Every structure is written in structure tokens, then in C-alpha cells.
Amino acid sequence: MRVKNWTYFLVATTLLGVALLGTSCKQSGGTDDPVESGAISFRSSSSNEEEQSRAVIADDEALVAACSSGEGIGVWGIVNDENNANASLLDNVKLTYQEDWTYEPTKYWIRGAKHDFWAIYPYSEANCSLNPATGILSRSNITLGTTNPANNVDYMCAVNGRDLSLPDAPTGPVPLEMRHAMSLLEFRFVNAMGFVNSVSDISLSGHLYKASLAFGPDGRLEGATDGLVDIVVTPTSERAESSQFMGQSLSNIDKNISVSHNLFGNVGSIVVLPQEVEGNSIFFNLKVNSSLSNINLGILPITEWLPGKKYVYTVTLTTTTIICDVIVVDWIRDEVELVPIE
């Protein structure tokens, strides 16, 4: 899913088809006590919106559109019971949307077993792996924020599960509440004095833009409490050069009009890796009326870019100075803050 100033809610609920259970899990019981109990299916959100941490959940319409046109969500499933210890049920199967959420071959619930599921968007046949013992899902070879829109990717992750050893455990569709793993930057311009004819050669430089990710057992980019994960975002030492992250130009900026610039390949905002900003030489570069200026984002009040957050930088142009302010909002619809339910 490529970022296009989308709004952010999940609403769709759908069922999947039925197929036979694979052979990854051991089975128990006789013919009078089948271990299979209904087909495993998924949906894209919680049935109760109040249960969602909506501030970090992706827009369902955009997710559906992406997964209807060739992209998908990778899903893993692990089963544990008296006959199975971290047995693989789903191994990076591709979940797509074709009128309903679907994958193949569809699996059945194992009666009496605990099922755990991990999901990551976008789907990748390679570069993804799950450690079932630690519950850590890894995604390597991430490249973000280049002028190629294909690299402006909204990576997301979800974790959920069902314990069928519990009385009245549900076997309905499993909600995949996809959380944004990256940070989002937006740049706005205000021509305060009316002297600006053009802003050109816009670029971002100095930030880390290549990395591997490790999602913890709860699906978040954070260290596990048992110390199994020390660093969950592992950037390479490569930092962006201005020429790699060139934006487009603005012209005829009216006085006192705020303009959200289409940066980086006609994309309204740029997706970046969560990382430390304070103290690093991360620059927003631009020419105002052909005069080169550089804004050091590392000296502004924002100390780091966090997962699931949107950073709105407002660049105010005057006859003598360029002033940059930044606010942080949740990556959600219309910047309206929706507080997660405790």
C-alpha cells in the first residue's frame, strides 16, 4: 500500500472459504472425536470498534484496495497443545482480498489447541521469518523514502490468537488489527510575506533509510519484556543523500496560504523508519527563489520518530528567515486524536 494521504479506520468483516488442514500439526483423538473444528478465517478489524487502538490502525479501504490488486498480507499460525509444540499451521501464506479476505489452502481449527497468529503487510515471499519459540516476526531488507514511490511503503503488523482449550472459545474470523510500524512525515509551507515565487530542489537527507525490523510478540516495534529482543529496529549505517530523496517544486505560493507539498514522487507524505532525530544531522533542504536553505530537523523539539505517529513540519517563509515548527499527531483520519481503550 503506497501512502497517498489516506484516512485511517478499519471496518470490513468477512469470512474465508474452507479447505483441508495441512500436515504440519499432529492430530489426536479417534473418529468420534475429531480434532478439526471449523475453518480458520480472518477479517481486517475488531468487531467492536471500541476495542481497537484506532490511532495506529490502517485505513481499511486502502488496505482492501492494495490487497485486491496483487498485494497481500503474510500470515503465520502456530499451534500448541498436548500433541503440538509450536507446530506450524500457516507459514507466510498470502492473504488477499477478492470480494472476501481469502487465502489457500484454508486451515481448520485444532480442537482444544492454542492458536497464535502473526501478520505483516505488505506480503513478501522472501525477507520474512517467524521464530515460534520467541514470538518474534522479522522483516529484512527494508528500504524507505526514496524518490521511487514503490519504496514509500506503509509496513504494518498484527498479532492475535485463540485458545480453544478455554470454554466457549470463539472460532469466528480472527481480527487482524494492522498497526503502522513506520513513521510518517508531512511538510507544509506558509508564505508569510508574499515575496515567494517558487520553492525548488526540495529534499530530505541525513536520516537512516535502510533497516531490518523485528516485531515483538505483541506485534509492536519494541523490546520484549523477557529481554529476548534488544534492538527491534536495526538500521544499516547508510544515511540518505539529498540527491536520493529529491522532491518536486512549488511555484506561485500565495501569501498566507498553507500548502501541503507533494513530496517524493507525487506522494503527499513520506514514510520513514522510526529513529532518533535529536542530535543527528537530518536536513530538510530547499531553495527559496533560487537561494539554498537547510533546516536541521535534529535541533527541533521532536527527539525521535515513533511508530504509528505522523510528524507535520510547517515551514514559514518570511523576507529574512525560514521558520520551521513541528507537531506530532496520531497517524489517523483528519488528525483527530482517538485515545486507545485501556
| Mean pLDDT rounded to a whole number for the chain | 77
- When pLDDT is averaged across residues 287-298 and rounded to a whole number, the result is 92
- What is the spatial distance between Cα 224 and Cα 216, in angstroms, rounded to a whole number? 6
The predicted-structure confidence for 44-68, as pLDDT tens digits, reads as follows 874 444 444 444 567 778 888 889 9
Radius of gyration of the chain (CA): 23
Pairing type for strands 42-43 and 174-175 reads: parallel
Tell me the one-letter amino acid at 79. V
Closest CA to 46 of 177, 141, 147: 177
The predicted-structure confidence for 208-228, as pLDDT tens digits, reads as follows 888 888 888 888 875 433 433
For the segment(s) 36-180, the CATH number from 1.10.8, 2.160.10, 2.60.40, 1.20.120 is 2.60.40
Identify the H or E element spanning 108.
strand 108-110
Residue 289 has a CB neighbour count (10 Å cut-off) of: 11
- When pLDDT is averaged across residues 312-329 and rounded to a whole number, the result is 89
- When pLDDT is averaged across residues 148-157 and rounded to a whole number, the result is 78
Q: What is the location of CATH 2.60.40.2630 in the chain?
A: 183-335
pTM over 0.85: no
Contacts of 85 (CB under 8 A, 6+ apart): none
Burial of 298 (0-12, 13-18, 19+ CB in 10 A): middle
Q: Which CATH class is domain 183-335?
A: mainly beta
Asked whether the bond before 122 is cis by omega within 30 degrees of 0, the reply is yes
